Each structure stands twice: as structure tokens, then as C-alpha cells.
Amino acid sequence: MIRMTGIGALALLASLGACGSPEQPADDTAPANEMTMDGPYAKSEMAMDKAMKAAVGVDAADTWVKKMIAHHEGAIDMSRTVLGLEPTADVAEMAQMTIDNQGAEIEALKALARNGTADPESAKLYEAAMTEMHSEMMAASGATPSETYLSKMLAHHRGAVAMSDIALANGATGAVRAQIEETRAEQLKEIAMVEAMLRGERMTMQAQASSDTVAPAPAAKPAAPKAAAERPAPTKRAPTKATAESAAEPEASPTCAPEHRAAGHC
């Protein structure tokens, strides 16, 4: 009978344990945040983040313009995605409104974009705000595709406000500053709307005004026909002396004899 020393026994057990343990699958060691990359909005979010990082202008204001174009294009892509996922009526209305309004604003932004040498330092001003927005959007979720869309768009709008604040604090002037202020105001309205919708309230969208549509003015009522001008009453003329005398004296009857007329009988 072969005796095995304690050290040999331990070595044998370790060897057997190593042979019998299957390797851990690579997926188990993947970062937990990668599990969100297969959602319906992930492709749009990643494309938007990449495009925003690549957008650099000639100064801080121009960089805002070019990054906001990519920002709005991301919102349009996400809105088109949710429209294909049978959203609630309110979310469908919001998504279509986002497509229309953001599309119009993209054209306005393109008209403001400037040509020239890109300034990488101006892009660094926005890095923190963009990173925070992207992280919050990727982490946002909901019980339904509609709720998830709302949660992601809330983070999306907040990111636009943060970026607008940075641009306003870094020398934006003129028409670009006016556009930044308008965009910021509209994004704040949309934040309030999305927060209300996430509480279960119906969509009351004051931000619809951003589509530059103005409610038609009520048609003017036709003017009432003017009443026919009243004819002035005939003016009474003062009787002349001859007329007064003729009115006082009765006309002589052609059959009255002269003597009777002299006596006042006719």
C-alpha cells in the first residue's frame, strides 16, 4: 500500500481541482454598463455621442452650434425609433413634434455655422457636460419603450441646457447668442413637459411654439351694413309777407257779388 505524504496529497487535490474547473465565460467579466448597449435607443445614443465629440468650431460659440446640430440629430433618430415601438398617443405626438421642431432648428443652426480653423480648446469646455448627459441617457430606463424614451429625452434636454449655459458664459454674441438663448428656453419648456408626462400627466406642450407656427387670427366679422342715410326733414321756411297775407285773406269766390264781398258775407 502506497502512503502519500500530506504535501503530496495537497498537490494532488490541487491538480485535480484545476483539471475539473471549467473556465469562466468572458461575458461574466464584462462591465455591467455594457448590458445597456442592446436597447432600442443605444445605436442613436452612441452615434450622437460620437458626432458631438467630433464637432469642433472656430470658437466656443461656433463649437456650440456644431455640437448642437449633432445633439438635435440624435433626438430625431431616437424619436423615429420610438414611433416604431407603438408608443402612447402623447409620446407619439411628442416624438413627431421633436422631429419637426429639431429639424427646423438644425437648418437654423447650419446657417449660423462658420468656416475656419477648428479650436480644440473650445471643445474642451463642453466635455464634462457631454459626458454627464451621455451617462445619464445610457442609464435611463423605464417600464415601457415610451417611458424609456421620456427618461432619455429628459437627460438629453438637460444636457442641452448645460451646454447652452457654457456657451453663454464664453463669449457668444450676436445672432448665435440669440439662438443659444432661444434653444435654452425651449429646452427648459420641454424638460417641464417631460417631467409632467413621467408623472402621468397629459402632454401640455407650450414648446410647440418653437416650430414657429402661430395660431391663425380669428377671421374679422364682416362690418354691419350701414343704415340708409336718413333724408333730412324738409326745412320749414318762414312765411313771406305776401304768403301770410294770402293765408289771412280767404280767396274770393267767383260767384260772390261785389256788394256781398264788401260787406264781408263772402
For residue 91, pLDDT over 50 is answered with: yes
The separation between CA 71 and the C-alpha centre of its own chain, rounded to angstroms, equals: 14
Whether pLDDT at 2 is above 60? no
Mean pLDDT, the chain, integer: 78
Residue 149 forms part of a structural domain: yes
Please calculate the CA angle 177-118-52 and round it to the nearest 5 degrees: 70
| Domain assignment of residue 198, yes or no | yes
Position 153 in a domain: yes
Residue 14 lies in a domain: no
Task: Supply the pTM of this predicted model.
Answer: 0.65
Q: Which of 117-121, 188-192, 218-222 has the lowest mean pLDDT?
A: 218-222
Residue 16, domain member (yes or no):
no
The pLDDT of residue 205 is 56
Instruction: State how many domains the chain has.
Output: 1
Q: What is the pLDDT of residue 261?
A: 62
Has residue 63 been placed in a domain? yes
What mean pLDDT do residues 212-240 have?
46
- Distance of alpha carbon 122 from alpha carbon 111, whole angstroms: 20
Examine residue 125 and state whether it is found in any structural domain, yes or no.
Answer: yes
Per DSSP (E only), the strands in the chain are: none
Task: Say yes or no to pLDDT of 47 above 60.
Answer: yes
CATH number for the domain including 119? 1.20.1260.10
Q: What is the pLDDT of residue 256?
A: 58
* pLDDT confidence tier of residue 163, bands split at 50, 70 and 90: very high
Residue 198 pLDDT more than 90? yes
Domain of 79 in residue numbering reads as 39-203
Asked, for residue 132, whether it belongs to a domain, the answer is yes
Distance between alpha carbon 136 and the CA centroid of its chain, in Å?
A: 21
Per-residue pLDDT at 22 exceeds 90: no
pLDDT at 68: 98
pLDDT band at 202 (very low <50, low <70, confident <90, very high): confident
Kindly indicate the confidence band of residue 203, based on its pLDDT and cuts at 50, 70 and 90.
confident
